[in-house]
A and B are shown apart, each in its own frame.
Chain A
Amino acid sequence: MAVLVIADHNNVELNAATRNAVTAALELSSNVSVLVTGYQCQAVVDQVAKIEGVGQVLVASHPSQQHFLAENQSLCISSIAKEFSHVVAPATSMGKSVMPRVAAQLDVQQITEITKIFDENTFERPIYAGNAFIKLVSSDAIKVITVRATKFVSAIDGNNVAPTKDIEANFDAQLSKFIGAESSKSDKVELTTAKVVVSGGRGLASEENFGLIHQLAEKLNAGVGASRAAVDAGFAPSDCQVGQTGKVVAPDVYIAIGMSGAIQHLAGMKDSKMIIAINKDPDAPIFQVADIGMVGDLFEVVPEMIAKLA
């Protein structure tokens, strides 16, 4: 049984969620290859080759693969998928966009965002925003899978360097073009891998006030998260959004400030090891999942925390 992992990256840095997908792949088989599609992405190939357990790195480098356009990337993945029993990607925006296309091209039903592997055919995945889990057996010949990163440990670097092999990469469907990207500042702690996350909700009331969240996060070397309501209101950029349709995080400590705890938000953070909630409404649903709750005005509590954490 040979398993293929699709690397998520930006041609320079490997997205850490790829390492979790490698761990999932290694649960399925010891024969794991990683495909790096992209362009001028040798730095990423080098990072992948060092990961413990990776047997070989397949490199599909071509301008058509530079921007991870789903139409082009899926054709590349499909072209080699039949050599594998499982094709696995992290459930990042890349994995979510590309893998269903791969699955349809192979005529298989994708298994989205698995949280557990029982055997090569049997998996667990969340439904209803994580309010239920479904254990399913897939009968497809090739399993196309995306992996919830927080449910699998991150594969670390080993002592060996896996061999690399170039594969055909010229798949230009001419259906889409990359125009541009707006990325948030990279000096912040990465939300999905942070040990501590400080997250703000609608209770912050303004973008200016959301600065309190950044100040507290800075003190704690924490990632900054936000509820959808806070993002929609413009208090925080969209890549901070934690929830059913935003990022899924599971830090050691999650500090939820001024957020009610809607089902959709809880879906993205309730696997955190410790949840701390600060909200003036004692009936806020967030207190039902919080390990430590404090009913209070965040505009008093948070500045005091910042001062006392000096």
Chain B
Amino acid sequence: MKVLVAVKRVVDPNVNIRVKADGSGVDIDNVKMSPNPFDETAVEAAVQLKEAGVVSEVVVASIGSQKSQDVIRAALAMGADRGIHVSTDADLEPLAIAKVLKQLVELEQPDLVFTGKQAIDDDSNQTGQMLSALLNWSQGTFTSKLSFENDWVNVTREVDSGRETIAVKLPAVLTVDLRLNSPRFASLPEIMKSKKKPVETKELTSFDLQLDSRFKVQLVSAPETRNQGIKVTSVDELIAAAKLTAKGN
């Protein structure tokens, strides 16, 4: 079984982002970048399946600037076999990304596509579902556990009411929740080895796709700041300040 994992390069999750004063966007110049944390979980899931002998090859794809190769290399150091970089400086929306991924799927013919359930920059939570719909494949969103049974995957999903288990038919797109696993730290020998693994670059312009943007961004603004709070030193003060009364709300 072959797996394709889609990874996105995003602002490091520990960075406090700043909105530009002119409202044109978020200031990400000279900010530390990382693989999207959910996508690292997706890579880990694929590599674990390879180690378990369920999967024969793990291919990692990223769409973006030249620097997207960094996140591909990070995935290769975790144990993925090879990478595909679709090179573009355009800022693509989820539907456009899904359309590019669909073409990669048609080329690579994987049995399973993994991706994070959302990217921590745009928080869209769309790409996996859109890819699955474009392919007319099954989807498992918010995957926190999975097991295989013939041509089906049992997917336990984190949903609002608790957990739900569904079976999805292969081929499938699975978007993963952080609870699925803890991504490994790549060891130095693995990092050295990953430098020799193949990464193929394709120019986005070589794809026969209309990827016009559907959104025009008018303004990016910072959230309203909260007023400075007070500190209390006793429970009595706390209860009084909050006007808390038992069952009284």
Contacts and interface: CB of A to CB of B under 8 A. Distances in A.
Interface stretch (B63-71, B199-207, B212-220): B212-220
B168 interface: yes
A167 B15 CA distance: 49
Nearest to B234: A294
Interface of A: 10, 15, 67, 69-71, 74, 92-94, 96-105, 107-113, 122, 126-140, 173-184, 192, 195-196, 219-222, 228, 231-232, 237-239, 244-245, 247, 252-253, 263-264, 270, 274-276, 278, 287, 289-295, 301, 304-305, 308-310
24 contacts: A71-B132, A74-B133, A96-B141, A97-B142, A101-B129, A101-B132, A103-B130, A104-B131, A127-B122, A128-B11, A128-B121, A128-B123, A132-B220, A135-B218, A135-B219, A175-B169, A176-B169, A177-B152, A179-B166, A181-B164, A196-B249, A221-B247, A292-B232, A301-B238
Nearest to A180: B165
Given A270-B223, A293-B229, 18 more contacts: A93-B141, A100-B128, A101-B139, A103-B126, A127-B220, A129-B123, A133-B223, A135-B220, A139-B216, A173-B138, A175-B138, A179-B154, A181-B165, A228-B178, A231-B179, A270-B226, A292-B241, A305-B235
B168 A245 contact: no
B161 interface: yes
Given A110-B126, A112-B124, A180-B164, A137 B215 contact: yes
B56 interface: no
Interface stretch (B44-52, B79-87, B92-100, B107-115): B92-100
B162 A182 contact: yes
A229 B158 CA distance: 15
A220 B246 CA distance: 5
Nearest to A303: B235
B203 to A, nearest CB: 23
B231 A293 contact: yes
Contacts of A290: 229
**Secondary structure at chain B's binding surface: helix, strand, loop or mixed?**
mixed
A100 B169 contact: no
A108 to B, nearest CB: 7
Nearest to A282: B231
A239 B177 CA distance: 13
B136 to A, nearest CB: 8
B21 interface: no
B139 A71 contact: yes
Contact of A294 (B142, B172, B226, B238): B238
B220 A133 contact: yes
The CB with the most chain A CB atoms within 10 A, among B120, B129, B248, is that of B129
A182 B157 CA distance: 10
A264 B137 CA distance: 31
Given A176-B167, A179-B166, A276 B238 contact: yes
A174 B170 CA distance: 11
Nearest to A133: B221
Given A100-B129, A305-B238, A127 B222 contact: no
Given A104-B98, A133-B221, A304-B235, A238 B123 contact: no
Nearest to A108: B214
Nearest to B231: A293
Contact of B160 (A67, A69, A93, A232): A93
B236 interface: yes
Contact of A179 (B17, B167, B213, B216): B167
A101 B133 contact: yes
The CB with the most chain B CB atoms within 10 A, among A128, A195, A231, A289, is that of A128
B161 to A, nearest CB: 5
A291 B243 CA distance: 13
Contacts of A92: 160
Contacts of A237: 162
Contacts of A136: 215-218
A71 B133 CA distance: 8
A71 B138 contact: yes
Contact of A177 (B98, B166, B236): B166
B120 A238 contact: no
B247 A220 contact: yes
Contacts of A69: 166
B62 to A, nearest CB: 20
Contact of B95 (A103, A122, A219, A274): A103
A175 B133 CA distance: 11
A126 B249 contact: no
Given A104-B133, A291-B230, A131 B223 contact: yes
